[in-house]
Amino acid sequence: MKILFTLACSLFICMHLSSQNGLEKIIVEKYYISDENDKTVDGDGGELPVNSVTYRVYVDMLPGYIFQAAFGTPEHEMKIASSTRFFNNEDRGAGHPTYTRAQAQKNTVMLDSWLSVGAAMKDYAGVLKHHDNSVNTIVNSDGVLQNEHPEAGIPIKAEDGAVLATVQPVTVVGFSDTDLTIFESSNDAPIPSVMSTRDGAWSSLAGSRGADTTENIVLIGQFTTDGIFEFELNLQIRNQQTLGVEKYVARNPVADEILFETLIHIDSLGLISSTDESINITDEITAFPNPTSGNLSFQIDQQIPLIGVQNQYMLKSVNGDAVMKGKITDHLTSIDISHLSPGVYVLLIDLDHIYKASKKIIVTP
């Protein structure tokens, strides 16, 4: 009887798991924020603007899944863009993280922009800094990458987000000769810098799992810029138990494709630098409904005072154009955005130049 009960439970668990989608979430980590000290090695690594943010993008999957590809099709654009340029280290930089741990100790190689299927460097997998095991943390030989900016969380001099592991190589297919030039070892790309494709992909032919297979979080890219960072991705993963393939798209799914709205991301930075006294209250702002095609409301936490006379909001397109603005007179504000074209926008909030916030807003057809 106990055996039958165990088998029944196992069957139920398998059926339950098979009914779930394997993609749990997309994680965007602020890995590092550069400072004046990092510019001391500009001659070796290429010019790195102060307050450049290094973002890491991770795919978080259920256990038992592998990451196969990020792709674009005629129906689904794949795009990675900056309103300025992406930083590419000119010493050991490349389109994929193939530099060694010894090379990563030099100048600003660890901040290079690249595409990945799990690796952070040769023989090391990329992991979230708070998942790092603190073993063999890289100590920069040039005395840079020491900034402890609070918005970047754990300093990389304490946890470098890399663990020894077997990593898969990146296979690139379908891109034209110019699609990936913004990630080459030079910093002369046009402004804004955009990688866009409707017939290309970067992939892991053998499939990639997370360094911790229980967490199963795979690093798929690192991008450093001092501008507005955005991406629109489509992903393919596979269930290793059923061999079922799942395709997730950012917009307009067809057939068995699965809509996953956080595959669209925009980060307007909103940095609080050492010379900026503004307080970032993004976590204290709730915008709803989002996505929306009609009215948009945003709620400011009641503990945030509205005593100033210059409390205002602004809605910007991804190109940086202001499309709406107005005054904030209450903790709850509602605006009609039904006239806006479908797409991604940024809601900026400024409360008397003391409190600031930014939120991604998606306008649907």
**316-338 per-position pLDDT tens digit:** 886 667 899 999 999 999 999 99
Residue 273 pLDDT > 60, yes or no?
A: no
Backbone phi, then psi, for 60, in 5-degree steps? -100, 115
39 contacts: CB under 8 Å, gap ≥ 6: 47, 48, 50
For residue 20, the model assigns a pLDDT of 63
199 or 308, higher pLDDT = 199
pLDDT in tens, 155-214: 999 999 999 999 999 999 998 766 788 998 888 888 889 999 999 999 999 999 999 999
Percent of the chain with pLDDT over 90: 63
Which of the two residues, 5 and 97, has the higher pLDDT score?
A: 97
- Torsion sign (Cα): 116, 118, 122, 126: positive
269 or 154: which carries more pLDDT confidence?
154
User: If you average pLDDT over residues 239-262, what whole number do you get?
Assistant: 93
Cα angle 24, 285, 232 (rounded to 5 degrees) comes to: 40
What pLDDT band is residue 275 in, cutting at 50, 70 and 90? very low
**pLDDT at residue 126 tops 90:** yes
pLDDT interval class at 11 (50, 70, 90): very low
Mean pLDDT (the chain) is 87
